[in-house]
């Protein structure tokens, strides 16, 4: 039996990158998905590519009414809701001394507040209907370590980790699991610098597993946390980064024991 047979998942930020790949693989494993995104053209194209087991919903995660509408659309379209993946993010890189309030807000509003609002909307439906559920929130190794010159990104992603832990503990009694994943450098439309072969190789060289991550690497970790294989896992964080976040001493000058 496929892991997600008769199950339905909303994937916000699902129009590209990790979100889109997670949607493809969720359906391949028997499930149905709603692609939630503000990019209607790209999100609709991904849903069309996947087929009848996918639908697109215009979801602005920074708007609580839009989040609630996304949940209602999912239930009306597929009859249920079992999982949620929050991968929507916006970028506003700048040194903190130059960062505008508008750029701070746009990253926090989508990446952190949006994760809160969308998780809340799904959780309210599960609690009201006495259904279990599983949420996976995308943080980043940038939420474990400061990402200089990235504006509000690291603060937002660190907040996602703590928010996931708090939701996971508060909702455990409702059999709703909430976890976070922390991808390392991953080749997606957001990481345009990876198109430079020299940059991509340099990134691979400082990763213990010797390569840059791909969307499918992250998607498989997300699917694990959504599945019954992780039925005893909540309020936890899964690093998917080829060992990068733990490799500080690999890069220190001095004696080596290779």
Rg of the chain over Cα atoms, rounded to whole angstroms, equals: 18
- On whether the CB atoms of residues 167 and 258 are closer than 8 A, the answer is no
Under a CB-based contact definition with an 8 Å cutoff, are residues 53 and 35 in contact? no
Instruction: Return the sign of the alpha-carbon dihedral for residues 91, 92, 97, 102.
Output: negative
CA 75 from centroid of its chain's CA atoms: 21
Nearest to 20 by CA among 52, 62, 48: 48
| 204/206 Cα distance (integer angstroms) | 6
| Among 153, 193, 224, 232, the one annotated catalytic | 153
Does the annotation mark 26 as catalytic?
no
| 15 vs 230: CA distance, rounded Å | 26
Catalytic residues: 153
């Amino acid at each position: 039996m496929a892991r997600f047979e008769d199950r339905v998942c909303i994937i916000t930020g699902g129009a590209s990158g990790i979100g889109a790949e997670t949607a493809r693989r969720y359906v391949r494993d028997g499930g149905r998905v709603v692609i939630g995104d503000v990019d209607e053209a790209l999100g609709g194209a991904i849903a069309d590519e996947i087929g009848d087991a996918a639908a697109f919903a215009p979801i602005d995660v920074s708007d609580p009414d839009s989040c609630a509408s996304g949940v209602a659309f999912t239930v009306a379209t597929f009859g249920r809701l079992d999982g949620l993946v929050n991968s929507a993010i916006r970028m506003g890189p700048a040194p903190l001394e130059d960062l505008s309030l508008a750029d701070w807000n746009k990253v926090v509003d989508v990446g952190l507040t949006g994760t809160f609002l969308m998780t809340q909307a799904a959780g309210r439906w599960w609690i009201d209907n006495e259904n279990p559920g599983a949420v996976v929130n995308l943080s980043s190794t940038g939420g474990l370590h400061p990402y200089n010159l990235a504006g509000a990104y690291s603060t937002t992603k660190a907040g996602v980790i703590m928010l996931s832990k708090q939701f996971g503990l508060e909702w455990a009694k409702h059999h709703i699991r909430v976890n976070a994943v922390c991808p390392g450098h991953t080749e997606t439309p957001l990481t345009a610098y990876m198109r430079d072969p020299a940059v991509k190789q340099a990134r691979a060289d400082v990763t213990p597993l010797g390569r840059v991550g791909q969307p499918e690497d992250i998607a498989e970790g997300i699917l694990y946390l959504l599945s019954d294989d992780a039925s005893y896992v909540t309020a936890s964080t899964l690093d998917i980064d080829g060992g990068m976040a733990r490799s500080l001493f690999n890069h220190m000058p001095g004696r080596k024991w290779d």
